[in-house]
Amino acid sequence: MPVGKAVAKLAVPTVISQIIVILYSMADTFFIGQTGDPNQLAALSIAFPIFTLLTAVANLFGIGANSLIARSLGQNDEATAKKASSFCFWGSIIATAVLSILLAIFMKPILTFAGADSPTFNPTKDYLLYVFVIGGIPTVAGLTLGHLVRSVGKTREAGIGLAIGGILNIILDPIFISVFGMGIAGAAVATALSNTISALYFLFVLFKMRKIYCITIAPKHFSLEKKVSLGTLSVGFPAAVSVMLVSFSISLLTGLLLRHEGGNILAAAYGVTAKCGTVALHISIGIAQGVMPLIGYSYGAKDHKRVHDVTRLSFIILWIFSIVFLAVVQFIPDTIIKLFIDDAQTIAAGGVFIRRWSWCTIGMCLVAMYDSIFQAVGKWKTSLVVAVLRFCIIFPALCFGLDALFGSDGLMWVQPITDTIALLIAMAFFKRFRASLAHKHANEPQTPAVQPTSNRIIAISREFGSGGRTIGKEVASKLGIPCYDSELIEKIATQSGFAKEYIEKYGEEAFSNTLYENALAVRDRDGQSAADKIWLAQKKVITDLAESSSCVIVGRCADYILRDIADCLTVFIHASDEQRAERIVSVYGQRDQAPAQRLHDKDKKREAYYELYTGAKWGVAENYDICLDSGVLGIDKCVEIIKNLY
């Protein structure tokens, strides 16, 4: 697709999903703020970094297993995929149970170290008791199961599970906080209950998937063998560390603020400010995650111009967004704080805090984009280095330094200065990466452009059950040229390294029916999904076959791949649903699913796959030289027509 259209199609849904995350994360702060008690808001600020450890645990096991499962399925190694999914679930549950027990035992010293004082200690303890000690396991279970469901391409179900938790939390918060008069404890109960229901939803999804997919949480598949445990944790470690570093920075700044006069007011103001900042952060993450598949695929395909075009447009969008966000905050800071709490002291402190803090918006948004670029091109170590420098060195140094020099006023400038420095570092890494890429590209032997071949090719696309495969084979037989259909699978397997069974299942069908969900399918450290790698291998195999001799190629987007390099007759075979349903039962012998539903599922996935990799519409007459109704004409007549047109 054109870059602008592709960015819009992928980034807009991702931003919308991030808005759900924003509402979810802001719900507790908003409804607790309605109590007008800054001590409860300060308690929430103290508790938030500790609660975020649950996300770190889920990322450690979930993201790592997500990648390992996808790679295992590509190698047709279902045993490892089952072990990885069981290890992911039970490993995360055990880790969370240990953390919950430790927090329950050492609650007092932990909260004292985090800066809780007499007005904030009990509210913080109540919140963490319900949301972490009691609700920690179902929270992590839901997050981890979401990763597992996503690993087999079920991104829609994963999104629904997230939305269920967010919407329920928004509904239950005012009930438990205000109606039941539980205050911050009510917010914790609402969050824990919402996450529990979300986890139950994922268990239901997993139960429905059990006969089709190899994802399982059965304890009998739990394994600590190196291939499973190390393969999972090594990939999930960077994602977990990133979350922990953010938690550390929030906890450090909150603790230092609490040491100053009026510390509870300052901590409450910082809590509201940080939550408002999540709006800018998550929207920028949504844009960055949306374009990540485009960057990863284009980089793997060595289409460096497209990488440049996508990143350039993304940076322009983020520059505009961050400047507008900054301007809004600068003009109405008190109004923003007042949305969360109607306390004069907190509004006054928060207005000053958020106005100063908002100068971090540009750096924060652009660093999120650089982070996605580094991950998309397999430079996850660079991404981790930037995060470590940002949160472990620059942020703490500025916290202690500015606190000593300027007190609480200095602490308000820590985030803007940190993110500006981090932006300069990320820009330097990116500049060096682009220079090395240009140097490597300049010194590599230039691959000659594919020259149009004189061979005559027939590329047959077809609706499922229309007889396109049979027609292709008979046409090839009558013309005395080879026909490639299932024969392509072994060649693509050799080229890509994936198992034949996996390619047979996913070689021309998408995981999902939508472009957005397919683009956000599981991606490896190089930023590419298994489908991307199969497509690139498939493209090369089909191109090589067309260059070697005249032939018939059935399916696999051959009409698009060969559009500029072969004298190609493109054909689309279709038939009525009734005739196709009868054929898949009588000829294919498929009776395990209702024929009509089977036809719909297969065609939708072929259509989504075609759109994902060609940007064109599958089955639209104008995209083919000829469209034939095999139900009306019959197989033999279709063969005769195509043969005569050759």
- pLDDT for residue 187 is more than 60: yes
Classify strands 567-574 and 456-462 as parallel, antiparallel or unpaired.
parallel
Whole-angstrom distance, CA of residue 283 vs CA of residue 318: 9
For 241, 422, 425, 460, 499, the CA distances from 371, given in Å and listed in that order, are 14, 11, 12, 42, 32
Per-residue confidence band for 382, with pLDDT thresholds at 50, 70 and 90: confident
Whole-angstrom distance, CA of residue 86 vs CA of residue 221: 6
pLDDT digits (tens, 9 = 90+) for 77-100: 888 888 999 999 999 999 999 999
pLDDT attached to residue 444: 55
For 213, 232, 525, 609, the CA distances from 68, given in Å and listed in that order, are 15, 6, 11, 23
Whole-number average pLDDT of the chain = 85
Half-sphere exposure of 352 (CA within 13 A, CB side): 15
Residue 148: in which H helix or E strand, if any?
helix 136-151
- Residues in CB range of 93: below 8 A, 6 or more apart: 137, 140, 141, 144
Whole-angstrom distance, CA of residue 139 vs CA of residue 228: 23
Q: What is the 3-state secondary structure (H, E, C) of 325-359?
A: HHHHHHHCHHHHHHCCCCCHHHHHHHHHHHHHHHH
Reference 329, options 362, 296, 363, 356; nearest CA is 356
Reference 16, options 376, 367, 370, 287; nearest CA is 287
Per-residue confidence band for 585, with pLDDT thresholds at 50, 70 and 90: confident
- pLDDT for residue 506 is more than 80: no
Q: Is residue 457 within 8 Å of residue 562, measured between CB atoms?
A: yes
Q: Is residue 507 within 8 Å of residue 489, measured between CB atoms?
A: yes
Helix (H, G, I), strand (E, B) or coil at 529: strand
Q: Give the DSSP letter of residue 563.
A: T
Q: Model-level pTM? A: 0.76
- pLDDT for residue 525 is more than 70: no
And the tokens for 373? 């670029």
Considering only residues 375 and 474, tell me which one the structure prediction assigns the higher pLDDT: 474
Classify strands 483-484 and 456-462 as parallel, antiparallel or unpaired.
unpaired
pLDDT digits (tens, 9 = 90+) for 61-71: 987 787 788 77
pLDDT attached to residue 446: 53
Classify strands 626-629 and 483-484 as parallel, antiparallel or unpaired.
unpaired
Whole-angstrom distance, CA of residue 552 vs CA of residue 65: 40
pLDDT digits (tens, 9 = 90+) for 417-464: 999 999 999 999 998 888 876 776 666 555 555 567 778 999 999 998
Q: What share of the chain is helix, strand, coil (3-state, %, to 5)?
A: 75, 5, 20
* C-alpha R_g of the chain: 28
Of 16-30, 203-217, 435-449, least confident by mean pLDDT is: 435-449
Per-residue confidence band for 10, with pLDDT thresholds at 50, 70 and 90: confident
Whole-angstrom distance, CA of residue 543 vs CA of residue 456: 13
pLDDT attached to residue 610: 87
pLDDT attached to residue 524: 63
Q: Give the DSSP letter of residue 133.
A: I
Please count the other Cβ atoms lying within 10 Å of the Cβ belonging to residue 85. 32
Helix (H, G, I), strand (E, B) or coil at 592: coil
The mean pLDDT of 122-138, rounded to a whole number, is 94
Whole-angstrom distance, CA of residue 169 vs CA of residue 179: 15
pLDDT attached to residue 299: 79
Reference 241, options 145, 385, 370; nearest CA is 385
For the CA atoms of 360, 363, 369, 371, what is the dihedral angle to 10 degrees?
-100
Compute φ and ψ for 197, nearest 5 degrees. -65, -40
Considering only residues 15 and 397, tell me which one the structure prediction assigns the higher pLDDT: 397
Please count the other Cβ atoms lying within 10 Å of the Cβ belonging to residue 589. 8
pLDDT attached to residue 455: 87
- pLDDT for residue 352 is more than 70: yes
Considering only residues 511 and 161, tell me which one the structure prediction assigns the higher pLDDT: 161
And the tokens for 151? 């690993």
Compute φ and ψ for 483, nearest 5 degrees. -120, 130
Q: Is residue 159 within 8 Å of residue 184, measured between CB atoms?
A: no
- pLDDT for residue 116 is more than 70: yes
pLDDT attached to residue 513: 64
The mean pLDDT of 186-206, rounded to a whole number, is 93
The mean pLDDT of 329-334, rounded to a whole number, is 91
Per-residue confidence band for 18, with pLDDT thresholds at 50, 70 and 90: confident
Whole-angstrom distance, CA of residue 537 vs CA of residue 338: 56
Classify strands 626-629 and 567-574 as parallel, antiparallel or unpaired.
parallel
Reference 257, options 412, 107, 32, 109; nearest CA is 412
H runs (alpha helix) in 34-117 = 38-51, 53-74, 78-105, 107-114
The mean pLDDT of 49-54, rounded to a whole number, is 90
- Residues in CB range of 354: below 8 A, 6 or more apart: 269, 272, 273, 276, 329, 333, 336, 337
**Adjacency order of strands within the sheet including 456-462:** 483-484, 551-554, 456-462, 567-574, 626-629
- pLDDT for residue 589 is more than 70: no
- pLDDT for residue 128 is more than 90: yes
Domains belonging to the chain, first-starting first, are: 1-33+263-443 (no CATH), 44-259 (no CATH), 456-645 (3.40.50.300)
The mean pLDDT of 117-144, rounded to a whole number, is 93
Half-sphere exposure of 645 (CA within 13 A, CB side): 19
pLDDT digits (tens, 9 = 90+) for 511-522: 666 666 666 666
Compute φ and ψ for 144, nearest 5 degrees. -65, -45
Give strand pairing partners of 574. Answer: 629
